Amino acid sequence: MLILGIETSCDDTSLAVVEDGSRVLALSTASQVMIHNRTGGVVPEIAAREHINSILPVLEHVLKEAAVSFDQIDQIAVTRGPGLVSSLLIGDLVASTLAMVSGKKIIPVHHIQGHIYGNWLERDHRDFHFPIMVLTVSGAHNELILMKDHLTFIPLGRTKDDAAGEAFDKVSRILGLGYPGGPAIAKMAEKGDPKAFKLPRAKMSGRYDFSFSGLKSEVLRIVEKELSASKELSEQFICDLSASFQECVIDVLSKKLFQAARDYQVSEVHIAGGVSANSSYRARIEQQGRELGFTTRSPVKTVYSTDNGAMIAACGYFLYRKNPGYYQHWQNVLPDPNLKFS
């Protein structure tokens, strides 16, 4: 089954053609990073306008790359929420229009469930074993989920304030490294000492909950202290603080993930979402998983970690397979910026 996946929940216009929820025939993404870098974050009206400019050229490109005509597409999967309403609207409108003129049906997809299915891309699905513990972490969400079966999710914990990706973005701004923060901090961290600064790990009453705002405030305090003493941040200071911050986030994420995996006696552990593009985080999960005896997975390519249309197509495939009557008539696909998880 060929599914066209459409993802426009934030600042990436990303479309993909995916076969049977695994084989990515083509993935095409128009990134707005250069535009939002100027403002240090995403401005919703600008993001929506850029989606309008990009989405039809990206559609044309992805079909060409996949070497399929639109007639050969079986279903259209589109992100319905959560996300920025004006951004979601563009993807949903294009999906609805395509469905209206072609008679194809639409599979609305939850963005975070899409991230979870990013791990199923380009893998043999017979190798997966439920239950699976999944930690999906992005700019806007930070969820620890027990996946008992396909599309059977039990949320165990979440962030009480900032998501880890948001903390990367805010710390990057504090250090003057620009947007998005994750890749910028990761690059500086390569040249830094992760033990240079002792940073706080928040103590939470909820065993599987997270909190990163105290960590961000501590980074701000350290930077302000340094600036009052030396007017400028040296490159080594920025690298050391980046490395210490990144280490702190990875430490918290990996400890909670493996703790939950042990508590629920799962054998398979996944990381997903934009932060799972971080190579040190991936390496830590892999190494600890090996030591502790878990099968670990992160998306096969880092482009399947950050927002992309392929994960939406993969999730759409499983939604359709589980319930072929699930799909929606084009008139019913309205964006929901606060779409509930299940």
List residues near Zn ion by CB under 5 A.
138, 307
Q: List the x/- string, 7-46, binding to ligand KG4 by CB under 6 A.
A: ---x------------------------------------
- Closest C-alpha to 301, from 325, 272, 260, 280: 272
Least distance to ligand KG4 from the beta carbon of 137, Å? 8
153 or 197: whose CB is closer to Zn ion? 153
Q: How far apart are CA 47 and CA 35, in angstroms?
A: 9
Q: How far apart are CA 278 and CA 182, in angstroms?
A: 7
Contact with ligand KG4 (CB under 6 A) among 169, 240, 247, 268? 169
| 133 Cβ contact partners less than 8 Å away, ≥ 6 residues apart | 144, 145, 146, 147, 257, 260, 261, 264, 266, 268, 269, 270
247 or 307: whose CB is closer to Zn ion? 307
Least distance to ligand KG4 from the beta carbon of 315, Å? 14
Q: How far apart are CA 288 and CA 254, in angstroms?
A: 8
Q: How far apart are CA 91 and CA 95, in angstroms?
A: 6
Q: How far apart are CA 36 and CA 11, in angstroms?
A: 8
Least distance to Zn ion from the beta carbon of 213, Å? 20
Least distance to Zn ion from the beta carbon of 74, Å? 25
63 or 171: whose CB is closer to ligand KG4? 171
Query: What is the 8-class DSSP label of residue 300?
Result: S
Contact with ligand KG4 (CB under 6 A) among 91, 108, 274, 299? 274
Region from 40-48, 133-141, 258-266, 334-342 binding ligand KG4, contact rule CB under 6 A? 133-141
Report the half-sphere exposure of 300 (CA within 13 A, side-chain side): 12
Cα 98–303–91 angle (5° rounding)? 20
Provide the residue count of the chain. Answer: 342
Least distance to ligand KG4 from the beta carbon of 102, Å? 29
For binding to ligand KG4 (CB under 6 A), which residues are involved? 10, 138-140, 165-166, 168-169, 180-183, 186, 273-275, 277-278, 306-307
